[in-house]
Amino acid sequence: MTNRINSSRTRAGRWQGVVLGLCLLCLAGCASLPGMVEIPAKEQERLIQECREMLARQQSCHCCLDAQATVSFSSIWQKGTLNGYLQAMAPSYLKFLAVNPLGQTMAIFVTDGDFFRYVPVLETKQYEGKVTGTTYAKYAPPGFLPEHGFYWLIGRLYPGRIRILDVTRDRQGDGYWFAISYGNGTKSLVLYDEKQGVLRRHIVMNDQDEKIFNVLYDEYTAGDCPLPGKVTVTALVHNSTMEIRLADWLDAPTFTMDDFTYDAPPSFDRVVVQ
């Protein structure tokens, strides 16, 4: 098993806002709707077929991610940049370890899509709770599903029955907009880059067509299963922006569920978050 995180030393910590922003990956926001141009039915059919072929290819893509991560966070409350390591596994497993310039651990976050645990090392505390709790829900807008967190991170649509409602051309020439629905009370607008076969943007809207979630994907890797090297989440309501930059990818890392667990030393205070 390839694992760069568990070998790091556990020490000091701050920048909780950045870590929490990453772990939630879901800042509630309001993004302006993009300009769209109608296209002929035959062109729609061709693009829908291309999209379905892309989704089929992704079924065979690797299950895991292991990369160096730089997370920048800016809001009306605080801002900062944090370096560390990010590991993820389909469908919902995530681990982020923040380190200082000496390589000492500042904070640890793990989740399996059901429970989460956050350890700011200098505070000698361990916060834990369910992602369905009120604290998590305070930050996660409707439409973000923690049980599919891996797919949000890597710029793909999560598995399930997808209904394509419409296809239009982006007015700025950046690709094609697919209006899709999973039948869960929300619908999405996803910007499809036909040349590279990737998603460039994902906007989630509620049943009243209100924008509740917005993510941009850029700087994709090459290959049959490209991954975004830059993920940007904006939250205009809170005047907040979070940017995740990924680099130094490990080739085909392998994890198990046990790799996404962490228990702080017995001397740490346990805080159960509702």
Nearest alpha-carbon partner for 129 in 24, 199, 229 = 24
Question: At 27, is the pLDDT very low, low, confident or very high (cuts 50, 70, 90)?
Answer: very low
What pLDDT shows up at residue 144?
62
CA–CA separation, 151 and 157 (whole Å): 6
Q: What is the CA radius of gyration of the chain?
A: 19
Minimum mean pLDDT among 6-10, 115-119, 146-150: which range? 6-10
- Greater model confidence, 242 or 97: 97
Minimum mean pLDDT among 84-93, 150-159, 177-186: which range? 177-186
Structure tokens at 224: 């049959």
**Average pLDDT value over all residues in the chain:** 84
Question: At 256, is the pLDDT very low, low, confident or very high (cuts 50, 70, 90)?
Answer: very high
- Greater model confidence, 250 or 27: 250
106 touches 119 (CB < 8 A): no
Structure tokens at 121: 């090392």
CATH superfamily of 15-264: Lipoprotein localisation LolA/LolB/LppX (2.50.20.10)
The arithmetic mean of pLDDT across residues 169-188, rounded, is 90
Q: Which amino acid is at 85?
A: Y
Minimum mean pLDDT among 33-37, 40-44, 190-194, 197-201: which range? 33-37
What digits encode the pLDDT tens for the residues 185-218?
778 999 999 999 999 999 988 777 777 778 999 9
CA–CA separation, 91 and 204 (whole Å): 19
What pLDDT shows up at residue 109?
92
Q: Structure pTM?
A: 0.84
What pLDDT shows up at residue 189?
94
Q: Domain boundaries in the chain? A: 15-264
Q: What sign has the CA pseudo-torsion 260, 8, 122, 15?
A: negative
Burial class for 84, CB neighbours closer than 10 Å (0-12, 13-18, 19+): buried
